[in-house]
Amino acid sequence: MQTVILAGGEGTRLRPLTADTPKPLIKAAGETAIERLLRHLKRHGIRSATLCVRFGADKIKNALGQEKCGVRLKYSCEQVPLGTAGCVRHAWNGDDVLVLSGDGVIGFDLGGLLANHKKTGADVSIVVRAVGDPREYGLVTADESGVITGFLEKPGYDECLTDLANTGVYVISKEIIERIPDGENVDFARDVFPELLKEGKRMCAFEDGGVWHDIGDIPSLLRCQRELLELEGKDCGLCGADASGSVVSGGSFIEEGAAVGPGSRIIGSLIGENVCIGRNADICEAVICKNVTAGPGLIMQRYSALGEGCVVGSGVTVCEGARVAPRTKIPDGAIIRTDILSGSFETLSFGEGGEVKGVFGAAGYLRFGMAAGSALGLKAAAVGGSSDALEAVALGLRAAGTAVFRIENASLGETVFCARRLKCSHCVFADGGGLRLISSLRAELSREEERKTVQAYSRAAEVGSKAAPLTDGASESRMYIERLKKICPREPKINAAIKTDSGREAEIFAEVMPGSDGEKVTFCIAADRTTVSAVCDSGVIPCEVLTVLACMSYFKARKSVILPKHAPLMCDEAARELKSSVIRGATGGRGLTPFSYDPLELICEVTGYLTREGISLSAAAEALPKVVYTKRVIDTPKGLPKLMREGFEGLRAGEDLMLESGGARAFVRPLKDGRAVRMYIESVSQEAAGELAEDIISRLRAKS
């Protein structure tokens, strides 16, 4: 068995710590990650290993030599990045391989892993571990016997229906390694494992609850250090440092040669070698790299960091999340709110439907535009709505080289329509309800797009020297209105009115919808700008029924529809009856059918259908099969992925959990923020829906 340790990454999310030091040589609680790993290997009887190195290769070789911690070492150096699988193939000696990461901390039972691999006859064994927040991990789904059934790569909470993370520790048979192309960039999780799964190769999960920390960023480094100290029964660690007259606690570690002035408070932080800090410092969950000198009164807030060799004046404050590059000089009294030379640091996240959270003020919106343009590689984007934020967002996009088409005072559907017409892959919309970044085809963002944008925002995207052009998109808005007029009949069967808090939606509706003496119908557009219901003679008609009627309008015209994955199931039934088809989710260059996200187009399509059929909305709804639609959002406790896995085992249907009982079918899916689940039920009666809803709630409560 060959042991291969991956140690070639750059560790960009750990900067400034990794600006001069390779990630495997970063210390936690006084010892580097790679040294901890080598000692762990020796304890399990492993006496030799091959290190795959690239970034900082010479520094790693000089630090470890030919033997370290009782383990003989060989080195395999990549000239170009080869990926996790490519570098293992490059280092391979022809035997089965145990693969580990050199920049994390593990306490796994490697002997048990190897024995289980042999016992199960697996082609690949993967160590998995239950995690509380799985969004930053690749996840593994497996059946009761441990056979792997699927992978999810760093999903949002709305997609992760398991809490088992892929730890990056593998045992792989030589037959599998042999088939990896030599010299090519190949990744195990992205390329090799999914293909093996398709081929039906035996892949097994080995769940281990031992210590595991993937030290990917400053918060994870500090968490790792705190847990390591707790395992040793310590609240803090002082490695020959001088901190007399100071309070040091909460998982802090002060390395050799450092000195902290009296009256200081060091909580949950890492202080590097030969650091000198003046009196009355207040450092909370922060990192100071080696050889930093700081005057009295230094304040460092959560997850801030000073790079190696910085010289800091008196009374300096480094705000939350701000990172200072190595060897930077900071004058007395400075307040560092931004990454030095990078821009401000704020916490960006995304909610449902591309909603942007955690961005405030002109500077934040400017930076967001820069991040979105650079991270997604946008050549052009449409920007629509009525918010003051859009001017700053547009300026940021242009600074990132993205040509901007500005559609003043546009509705959401109008903005997406214009983006498609202008061949913009993405668009930004903002009104009183907030700011959104969405794909023009999907009317939302993928998890990968969200991650890229968040990462670009955190590190502050580089900008070009010349701003991209800004173009007025008013002419495309006119085309949008003309499209709605073509859909709307000249003499509609219903007397339609609209209820909305958007002045633009009301304005467009008044222009495109003719008056009528027919049944009075009031369409009500919700605050999310995509959902619409109707009130007519027979009562309230939900959005799902309106969607089915719009689909029938398409089907009778011999047109298929592309709908979101959570559109009503009755749409599929209607398609079968009318010999048409429903496609779930945008594919390739084909975007969602506009009425699925644009309430104004849905209203126009339904009105046109009713007029052509010569019936009222009440009659059309009554003619459909009786279905009760129930939607609820249920708050959940912490540990949601584990709760979902244990409370709903074996009930997965695609990205959702699906339950069926007594003529009711329910889909359950976590929201993106992980604090609640969305429950959607289609049933033959309110009683059946209620019973299934209670079953779901009881499952959630039983495991909470």
Which of 111-125, 454-468, 598-612 is most confident?
598-612
Per-residue model confidence (pLDDT) at position 479: 93
Per-residue model confidence (pLDDT) at position 499: 95
Using DSSP's 3-state secondary structure scheme, residue 268 falls into coil
Q: What percent of the chain has pLDDT over 90?
A: 30
Q: Assign 57 a pLDDT band (cuts: 50, 70, 90).
A: confident
Per-residue model confidence (pLDDT) at position 701: 73
Domain span(s) for CATH 3.90.550.10 in the chain: 2-214
> Looking at residues 443-463, what average pLDDT do you find?
78
Per-residue model confidence (pLDDT) at position 459: 61
Domain span(s) for CATH 3.40.120.10 in the chain: 349-473
Confidence check: pLDDT of 343 > 50: no
| Integer angstrom CA distances of residue 504 from 1, 414, 608 | 68, 10, 22
Tokens representing 486 are: 């073509």
Per-residue model confidence (pLDDT) at position 381: 96
Confidence check: pLDDT of 94 > 90: no
Per-residue model confidence (pLDDT) at position 652: 60
Tokens representing 619 are: 């009659």
> Looking at residues 92-101, what average pLDDT do you find?
88
Domain span(s) for CATH 2.160.10.10 in the chain: 235-343
> Looking at residues 87-114, what average pLDDT do you find?
86
Buried b or exposed e, range 266-287, using 16+ CB within 10 angstroms: bbbbbbbbebebbebbbbbbbb
Where is pLDDT greater, at 150 or 450? 450
Q: What percent of the chain has pLDDT over 70?
A: 93
**Beta-bridge mates of residue 147:** 204
Per-residue model confidence (pLDDT) at position 653: 55
> Looking at residues 407-414, what average pLDDT do you find?
94
- What is the spatial distance between Cα 315 and Cα 295, in angstroms, rounded to a whole number? 7
Domain 349-473: top CATH class: alpha beta
- What is the spatial distance between Cα 659 and Cα 689, in angstroms, rounded to a whole number? 11
Where is pLDDT greater, at 134 or 320? 320
- What is the spatial distance between Cα 381 and Cα 386, in angstroms, rounded to a whole number? 16
121 with 113: CB under 8 angstroms? Answer: no
Residue with tokens 């993405």: 426
Please give the CATH number for the structural domain made up of 235-343. 2.160.10.10
* pLDDT tens per residue, range 478-523: 999 999 999 999 999 999 999 999 999 999 999 999 988 899 999 9
Per-residue model confidence (pLDDT) at position 40: 87
Predicted TM-score (pTM) above 0.75 = no
Q: Assign 342 a pLDDT band (cuts: 50, 70, 90).
A: very low
CATH topology of domain 628-703: TATA-Binding Protein (3.30.310)
**Beta-bridge mates of residue 562:** 583
Domain span(s) for CATH 3.30.310.50 in the chain: 628-703
* pLDDT tens per residue, range 196-236: 888 888 889 898 888 888 787 888 888 888 888 888 888 77
Residue 413: CB atoms within 10 Å: 25
> Looking at residues 117-131, what average pLDDT do you find?
87
Q: Assign 185 a pLDDT band (cuts: 50, 70, 90).
A: confident
Q: Which CATH number fits domain 2-214: 3.90.550.10, 3.30.70.270, 3.40.50.300, 3.40.50.1980?
A: 3.90.550.10
Tokens representing 278 are: 């003046």
* pLDDT tens per residue, range 521-564: 999 999 888 999 999 988 999 999 999 999 999 999 999 999 98
| Integer angstrom CA distances of residue 404 from 369, 378, 428 | 11, 10, 10
Per-residue model confidence (pLDDT) at position 345: 36
Per-residue model confidence (pLDDT) at position 327: 85
* pLDDT tens per residue, range 634-668: 777 666 666 666 667 666 655 666 777 777 888 77
Confidence check: pLDDT of 685 > 90: no
Distance, C-alpha 444 to centroid of its chain: 13
- Per DSSP, helices labelled H in 578-704 are 599-613, 617-623, 640-647, 686-703
> Looking at residues 157-169, what average pLDDT do you find?
78
